[in-house]
Chains A and B, each alone.
Chain A
Amino acid sequence: MSTVTEFTPFASFIGGVLIGLGAVILMGFNGRIAGMTAMLGGVLEPRSPDSPWRLAFLAGAIVAPLIATLMGAEFAFASPTTGVLLAIGGVIVGVGVTYGSGCTSGHGVCGLARLSPRSLVATLTFMATTFLTVTLMRHVFGD
């Protein structure tokens, strides 16, 4: 169940710089970590005083690619897995980021940029288990 994707070092680097810029803007203006796990709290705790700005960040993150698409941009997208696996993976991601207090954006970008030992451990851990999962599914139990 694998699809070949084009190696895009330039676009990926520029995209990465923009991700970082978004994180820097949120720290400079709001003094907050740009972790998507925390942002989702804006939906799940609508009464929290942090909910409005978190919802604004989420809305911006969803709307920006939509506007770009309407203006003619095209982003490659393929989900090489089944709906059942997507749902199972989703539940596991939700449980994991809640117990792990963060994901790729919070730990992997913001936390590592702050040289947080917790984030380094978290990032190394999830990178390792993601690699193991993909390898097992594709090369051991897959075709």
Chain B
Amino acid sequence: MNRILSALVAGLVFGIGIAVSGMANPAKVLNFFDPLGTWDPSLAFVMGGALMTTFIGYRVIFGRRQAPLFDTKFHLPTARTIDARLIGGSALFGVGWGISGFCPGGAIPALGFAPWPTALFLIAMGAGILLARWLQALPRRQIA
């Protein structure tokens, strides 16, 4: 129960941050990537504020505690390899982000105040995730 409540609080803070920052506004996000046109550099300030806070906060947490308050250990990613899957997937994600102006973290809070057309994007994204999981579950021989 504690874990659910703390995740809810974290989600509330994260979601309001996304909305205030402008990350849930596709027009604003796309304009960050358009220095040749209607440029809006605000996104750099979002990344700056988020990175600074997380960098310092993580260091304070990892420096003072062996485990989080409501769990027995920190669950940190263990993958180390930089492979075609990581780079290809990330490259594809950028193409989709550039077409739609939505990333997952921006779209979820946008659902709360601009349900349409956000829902359309999220349904399509869900289909994409399921498609990729299905492809990943196929035996490797069948793909190659």
* Docked CA distance A32–B61 (Å): 12
Q: 8 Å CB contacts to A: which residues of B16-31?
A: 16-28, 30-31
Contact A112 B24 (CB under 8 A): no
* Docked CA distance A91–B122 (Å): 9
Q: 8 Å CB contacts to B: which residues of A1-24?
A: 2-24
Q: 8 Å CB contacts to B: which residues of A99-143?
A: 99-101, 103-105, 107-114, 116-118, 121-123, 125-135, 137-139
Total number of residue pairs linking A and B with CB closer than 8 Å: 509
- Measured between beta carbons, the chain B residues less than 8 angstroms from A16 are 17, 21, 45-53
Contact B10 A77 (CB under 8 A): no
- Measured between beta carbons, the chain B residues less than 8 angstroms from A52 are 3-4
Known: A12-B42, A30-B68, A99-B88. A93 touches B128 (CB 8 A): yes
Contact B127 A90 (CB under 8 A): yes
Q: Give how many B residues have a beta carbon under 8 Å from the other chain's beta carbons.
A: 113
Contact count band on A: 35 or more
In the complex, what residue of chain B is closest to A9 when comparing beta carbons? Answer: B45
* Docked CA distance A81–B69 (Å): 44
From B75, B77, B99, B126, contact of A88 by CB (8 A): B99
Q: 8 Å CB contacts to A: which residues of B94-128?
A: 94-106, 108-114, 117-118, 120-128
In the complex, what residue of chain A is closest to B106 when comparing beta carbons? Answer: A104
- Measured between beta carbons, the chain B residues less than 8 angstroms from A83 are 117, 120
- Measured between beta carbons, the chain B residues less than 8 angstroms from A112 are 51, 55
* Docked CA distance A34–B81 (Å): 21
Contact B3 A5 (CB under 8 A): no
Contact B57 A128 (CB under 8 A): no
In the assembled complex, 25 residue pairs joining A and B whose CB atoms fall closer than 8 Å, in A order, are: A2-B34, A4-B31, A5-B42, A8-B22, A16-B47, A18-B13, A20-B49, A27-B57, A30-B70, A33-B77, A61-B14, A75-B19, A75-B20, A80-B27, A85-B100, A86-B117, A89-B102, A89-B121, A90-B125, A103-B103, A104-B104, A128-B91, A129-B95, A130-B94, A132-B94
